């Protein structure tokens, strides 16, 4: 058990997406788990070749030439999730050999404390059973694996099922390998709301869905870590008394001059016309994620109707930032308009929009956002760190310590990353009496 923990901890020592990229030449990080890396390469389909990335640029170019400039949101959606050549669709983009690293991959303490938080709040709500563990955009499945480890330690005695919402067929397999004993992909024509199933070593059933709408009804503990930053954003500008949209056009109509550029829409677009700023909005230039608003609305409806808790963890702001759309490739900033499909596209999450969308859509009680460093400290992260260090081999202690420091340090991930929790409105008086741990 300890060896396993140390192996996990010792490979989580790269840098992370939004704050600082690692100097790969300088890191002494050991290679990621050999078997998994090999299998991910073996499974990598032909569709991730340079040709495909080139063809994505060609497809986007042909579309723009045929129908005119496209929104940044449409560009982002195509680049990240185009079924043939989308960035997430057919490769492992995480870790030293990928483009970025995320908190659950840096230290096991992250997933463990999230697991303890879920158990504590679930118990406060009367330990409802059965319940579902739902994760949006699970990446490599590391957070789910660490949370499941905690749930099994607590021996909850409840009926549990696991539901992953993942658009990438390739990543869904990596996730299943992380925490399932067996898994199988369903035939394309199965007509079921899930496309992959699995069973954990302890017999818990897991299901993979393409959309949150396809997750069955029922009391749910819902996690979203670095999911909302991958959802498309529209870029809007207040000009001449109305909102106008920044679009993406081809750089030149000449065949031999490829590339893309930003242009301002000549007239209002459907989104700039319907956009309703949150009362008090002062920015004249902002990023608006219609898809975030839609997904948060679905979460709010579900939590109000079926009961549940959502924990949203991401880098972001509270409605003050104006221009955060960017790309990452090989752990460095990259021009988002160059080589579409070869780099991750992202924008800081607007937590003010999330809170507003949740509270507008249903009777929802939101907590936060609070900074990640504060949340983890309040969850007794130091105590867990000391425990791990007490049992660690001397050569692993520095890696374990620096991983936790990276997650909590204000100059690293401690303040830019934030936590926001959603509860059914009816439990608000109960939560006044028994405050939500980590948020106060």
Ligand X SMILES: C[S@@+](CC[C@H](N)C(=O)[O-])C[C@H]1O[C@@H](n2cnc3c(N)ncnc32)[C@H](O)[C@@H]1O
Shortest separation between residue 197's beta carbon and ligand X, angstroms: 17
Stretch binding ligand X (CB under 6 A), from 98-106, 296-304, 324-332, 410-418:
98-106
Is 226 a residue that touches ligand X (CB under 6 A)? yes
By DSSP bridging, strand 220-225 and strand 131-136 are parallel
Please state at what angle helix 169-179 crosses helix 34-43, rounded to 10 degrees.
Answer: 150
Is 137 a residue that touches ligand X (CB under 6 A)? yes
CA 93 to chain centre: 13
Is 166 a residue that touches ligand X (CB under 6 A)? yes
Is 146 a residue that touches ligand X (CB under 6 A)? no
3-state secondary structure 259-281: CEEEEECCCCCHHHHHCCCCCCC
Residues 384-413 that bind ligand X (CB under 6 A): none
Shortest separation between residue 103's beta carbon and ligand X, angstroms: 7
Is residue 11 within 8 A of residue 30, CB to CB? The reply is: yes
Tokens encoding 385: 């760190």
Stretch binding ligand X (CB under 6 A), from 107-115, 167-175, 321-329, 417-425:
167-175
Q: Report the residue number, 17 or 61, with the smaller CB distance to ligand X.
A: 17
Q: Report the residue number, 165 or 309, with the smaller CB distance to ligand X.
A: 165
Tokens encoding 211: 């959309």
Shortest separation between residue 167's beta carbon and ligand X, angstroms: 4
Query: CB atoms < 10 A from the CB of 280, how many?
Result: 7
Is 84 a residue that touches ligand X (CB under 6 A)? no
The residues near 311 (Cβ < 8 Å, ≥ 6 apart) are: 114, 117, 118, 221, 222, 223, 224, 419, 420, 421
Is 110 a residue that touches ligand X (CB under 6 A)? no
Q: What CA–CA distance (Å, rounded) separates 224 from 204?
A: 21
Shortest separation between residue 23's beta carbon and ligand X, angstroms: 21
Q: What CA–CA distance (Å, rounded) separates 43 from 35?
A: 12
Among 69, 98, 115, 139, the residue binding ligand X under the rule CB under 6 A is: 139
Q: Report the residue number, 88 or 243, with the smaller CB distance to ligand X.
A: 88
* Residue (of 78, 49, 411, 72) closest to 272 by Cα position: 72
Is 167 a residue that touches ligand X (CB under 6 A)? yes
Stretch binding ligand X (CB under 6 A), from 114-122, 132-140, 335-343, 418-426:
132-140
Is residue 158 within 8 A of residue 126, CB to CB? The reply is: no
Shortest separation between residue 298's beta carbon and ligand X, angstroms: 12
Residues 45-64 that bind ligand X (CB under 6 A): none
Stretch binding ligand X (CB under 6 A), from 162-170, 180-188, 324-332, 404-412:
162-170
Residues 275-294 that bind ligand X (CB under 6 A): none
Stretch binding ligand X (CB under 6 A), from 114-122, 226-234, 303-311, 388-396:
226-234
- Residue 380 exposure: Cα atoms within 13 Å on the Cβ side: 10
Stretch binding ligand X (CB under 6 A), from 131-139, 150-158, 193-201, 401-409:
131-139
Q: Report the residue number, 327 or 427, with the smaller CB distance to ligand X.
A: 327
Shortest separation between residue 420's beta carbon and ligand X, angstroms: 15
Q: Report the residue number, 124 or 225, with the smaller CB distance to ligand X.
A: 225
Among 16, 88, 208, 404, the residue binding ligand X under the rule CB under 6 A is: 88
Among 171, 299, 303, 364, the residue binding ligand X under the rule CB under 6 A is: 171
| CA 357 to each of CA 236, 278, 290, 388, 398: distance values in angstroms, whole numbers, following the listed order | 18, 10, 10, 39, 42
The residues near 394 (Cβ < 8 Å, ≥ 6 apart) are: none
Is 168 a residue that touches ligand X (CB under 6 A)? yes
Among 225, 331, 355, 418, the residue binding ligand X under the rule CB under 6 A is: 225
Q: Long-range contact list for 41-45, CB < 8 A, 24+ apart?
A: 43/170, 43/173, 44/90, 44/91, 44/170, 45/90, 45/170
Among 18, 71, 82, 102, the residue binding ligand X under the rule CB under 6 A is: 102
Is residue 372 within 8 A of residue 68, CB to CB? The reply is: no
Binding residues vs ligand X (CB under 6 A): 80-81, 88, 102, 104-105, 137-139, 143, 165-168, 171, 225-227, 230
């Amino acid at each position: 058990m300890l060896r396993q923990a140390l192996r996990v901890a010792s490979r989580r020592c790269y840098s992370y997406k939004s704050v600082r990229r690692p100097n790969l030449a300088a890191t002494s990080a050991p290679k990621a788990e050999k078997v998994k890396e090999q299998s991910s390469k073996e499974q990598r389909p032909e569709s991730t070749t340079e040709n495909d990335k080139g063809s994505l640029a060609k497809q986007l170019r042909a579309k723009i030439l045929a129908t005119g400039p496209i929104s940044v949101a449409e560009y982002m959606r195509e680049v990240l999730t185009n079924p043939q050549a989308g960035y997430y669709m057919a490769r492992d983009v995480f870790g030293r050999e990928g483009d970025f690293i995320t908190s659950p991959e840096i230290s096991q303490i992250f997933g463990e404390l999230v697991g303890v938080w879920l158990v504590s709040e679930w118990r406060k709500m009367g330990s409802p059973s059965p319940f579902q563990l739902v994760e949006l955009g699970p990446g490599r499945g590391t957070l789910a694996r660490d949370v499941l480890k905690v749930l099994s330690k607590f021996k909850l005695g409840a009926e549990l099922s696991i539901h992953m919402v993942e658009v990438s067929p390739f990543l869904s397999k990596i996730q299943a390998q992380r925490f399932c004993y067996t898994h199988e992909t369903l035939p394309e024509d199965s007509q079921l709301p899930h496309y992959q199933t699995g069973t954990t070593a302890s017999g818990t059933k897991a299901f993979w869905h393409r959309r949150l709408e396809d997750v069955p009804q029922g009391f749910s503990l819902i996690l979203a870590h670095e999911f909302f930053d991958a959802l498309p954003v529209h870029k809007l500008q207040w000009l001449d008394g109305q909102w106008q949209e920044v679009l993406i056009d081809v750089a030149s109509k000449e065949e031999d001059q490829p590339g893309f550029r930003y242009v301002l829409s000549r007239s209002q677009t459907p989104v700039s016309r319907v956009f309703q700023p949150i009362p008090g909005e002062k920015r004249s230039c902002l990023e608006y994620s219609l898809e975030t608003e839609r997904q948060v609305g679905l979460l709010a409806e579900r939590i109000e109707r079926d009961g549940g808790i959502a924990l949203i963890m991401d880098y972001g702001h509270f409605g003050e930032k104006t221009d955060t759309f960017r790309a990452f490739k090989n752990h460095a900033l990259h021009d988002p308009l160059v080589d579409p499909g070869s780099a991750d596209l992202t924008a800081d999450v607007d937590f003010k929009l999330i809170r507003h969308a949740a509270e507008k859509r249903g009777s929802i009680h939101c907590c936060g956002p609070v900074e990640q460093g504060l949340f983890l400290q309040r969850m007794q992260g130091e105590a867990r760190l000391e425990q791990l260090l007490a049992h660690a081999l001397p050569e692993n202690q520095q890696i374990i310590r620096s991983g936790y420091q990276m997650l909590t340090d204000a100059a690293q991930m401690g303040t830019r990353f934030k936590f926001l929790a959603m509860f059914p409105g009816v439990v608000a008086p109960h939560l006044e009496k028994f405050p939500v741990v980590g948020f106060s």
